[in-house]
Amino acid sequence: MSLLMTLRIAFKALGRNKLRTALTMLGMIIGVAAVIAMVALGSGAQAMIEEQVRSTGTNLITISPGSFNMGGVRGGGGTSTRLTPEDAEALREIPEIEYVSESAGTRSQVIYSNQNWNTQIEGVNIDLPLIRSWQVQYGTFFTAEDVKSAAKVCVLGANVADNLFGEGVDPTDVQIRIRNQPFKVLGVMTRKGASGGGQNQDDQVFAPYTTVIKKLSGQQNINRIFAASRTADELSSAAAAVTAALRIRHGIEPGDTDDFMVQTQDDIVALRTQTASTMSSLLMGIAAVSLLVGGIGIMNIMLVSVTERTREIGLRMAIGARGFDVLLQFLIEAVVISLAGGLVGIGVGYLASEGIKVYMQSPTLIPPDAIIIAVGFSAAVGIFFGFYPARKAAGLDPIEALRFE
Select from 1, 78, 33 the least CA-distant residue to 355. 33
Within 292-311, the residues that bind other proteins by CB under 8 A are 308-309, 311
19 binds other proteins (CB under 8 A): no
- Selected range binding other proteins among 107-115, 203-211, 315-323, 336-344, rule: CB under 8 A: 315-323
Beta strand pairing call for 73-74 and 181-189: unpaired
256 binds other proteins (CB under 8 A): no
74 binds other proteins (CB under 8 A): no
Q: Which of 87, 98, 312, 333 binds other proteins (CB under 8 A)?
A: 312
In the complex, minimum distance from the CB of residue 25 to other proteins, in angstroms, rounded to a whole number? 20
Beta strand pairing call for 181-189 and 153-156: parallel
Which C-beta is closer to other proteins: that of 326 or that of 366? 326
The Cα 198–Cα 134 span in angstroms is: 17
The Cα 165–Cα 146 span in angstroms is: 24
- Selected range binding other proteins among 220-228, 236-244, 313-321, 362-370, rule: CB under 8 A: 313-321
Which C-beta is closer to other proteins: that of 91 or that of 317? 317
Which C-beta is closer to other proteins: that of 155 or that of 317? 317
Give the start-end residues of each E strand in 201-353.
204-208, 224-229, 260-264
Single-letter amino acid, residue 167: E
In the complex, minimum distance from the CB of residue 316 to other proteins, in angstroms, rounded to a whole number? 7
Tell me the per-residue interface mask from 259 to 298 with other proteins, x by CB under 8 A, - otherwise. ----------------------------------------
In the complex, minimum distance from the CB of residue 315 to other proteins, in angstroms, rounded to a whole number? 4
Select from 363, 345, 343, 338 the least CA-distant residue to 353. 363
- The helix (run of H) or strand (run of E) holding residue 285 is helix 265-308
391 binds other proteins (CB under 8 A): no
Which C-beta is closer to other proteins: that of 352 or that of 394? 394
Could you give the count of Cα atoms lying within 13 Å of 307 in the half-sphere of its Cβ?
6
Listing DSSP states for 309-342 in one string gives THHHHHHHHHTT--HHHHHHHHHHHHHHHHHHHH
Q: Which of 144, 282, 318, 351 binds other proteins (CB under 8 A)?
A: 318
In the complex, minimum distance from the CB of residue 373 to other proteins, in angstroms, rounded to a whole number? 35
Q: Which of 173, 199, 324, 355 binds other proteins (CB under 8 A)?
A: 324
Q: Are 151 and 97 in contact (CB under 8 A)?
A: no
Q: Which of 321, 327, 328, 346 binds other proteins (CB under 8 A)?
A: 321
In the complex, minimum distance from the CB of residue 1 to other proteins, in angstroms, rounded to a whole number? 5
The Cα 92–Cα 131 span in angstroms is: 13
Query: Can you tell me whether residue 180 is helix, strand or coil?
Result: coil
2 binds other proteins (CB under 8 A): yes
319 binds other proteins (CB under 8 A): yes
Instruction: Give residues with Cβ within 8 angstroms of 214, minimum separation 6.
Output: 150
Q: Which of 22, 279, 315, 379 binds other proteins (CB under 8 A)?
A: 315
In the complex, minimum distance from the CB of residue 357 to other proteins, in angstroms, rounded to a whole number? 45
Which C-beta is closer to other proteins: that of 107 or that of 322? 322
In the complex, minimum distance from the CB of residue 11 to other proteins, in angstroms, rounded to a whole number? 12
Beta strand pairing call for 153-156 and 224-229: unpaired
Single-letter amino acid, residue 343: L
H helix count then E strand count, the chain: 13, 12
368 binds other proteins (CB under 8 A): no
- Selected range binding other proteins among 150-158, 223-231, 314-322, 343-351, rule: CB under 8 A: 314-322
Beta strand pairing call for 115-124 and 204-208: parallel
Within 140-179, the residues that bind other proteins by CB under 8 A are none
Q: How many positions of this chain bind other proteins (CB under 8 A)?
A: 24
314 binds other proteins (CB under 8 A): yes
Q: What CA–CA distances, in Å, run from 60 to 13, 129, 193, 226, 269? A: 62, 12, 17, 7, 12
Q: Where on the chain is the footprint of other proteins (CB under 8 A)?
A: 1-2, 5, 12, 16, 308-309, 311-312, 314-325, 398-399, 402
